[in-house]
Amino acid sequence: MARTDEAEAFFTAVYLACQEIPRGRVTSYGHIGRLIGKPECPRQVGICLRHLPTDPDAEFNSDSVPWQRVINSRGVISPRRHSSGASRQATALEQEGVAVERGSLGELKVDLEVYGWFPRRLPSREDDGDYSDELEGDEE
């Protein structure tokens, strides 16, 4: 199904923001939403990442967008429709040097104090001079 121009712009903004997350760091769906000016859309950020193409010829794909670096605001790797999805994400993060632990409920968890990345602005926007969309809080 074709996306509207507005939806396509949102998907692109999410993918571009995710490309700025440094290797070995993680951020939350909500923080990506804030960074792109849509703080009310953390679930939609997750949907964008769920629909990230695997086609290597696509402009944005699962190799060019570090989808594994986005987790929930509690530091937990969100469950997936496929049972191996969370463990695949954990493995990808561990390959970048991020420690993933089992939480008390068996969930896969990352220490946000150690690995969290929560800038007030995207690094690519630091020099644009427009501070009208400054974040209210530091992190989720």
Q: Over the stretch 1-57, which tens digit does the pLDDT of each residue have? A: 578 999 999 999 999 999 999 999 999 999 999 999 999 999 999 999 999 999 999
Please indicate, yes or no, whether the overall pTM of this predicted structure exceeds 0.95: no
Domain range list for the chain: 5-125
pLDDT digits (tens, 9 = 90+) for 65-83: 999 999 999 999 988 777 6
CATH number of 5-125: 1.10.10.10
Q: Which pLDDT value is given to residue 30?
A: 98
Query: Nearest CA to 16 among 115, 126, 123?
Result: 123
Residue type, 22: P
Angle, helices 42-50/5-18, rounded to nearest 10 degrees: 90
Please give the Cα distance from 35 to 42 (Å, whole number).
Answer: 11
Dig out the tokens for 18 from the structure: 């995710």
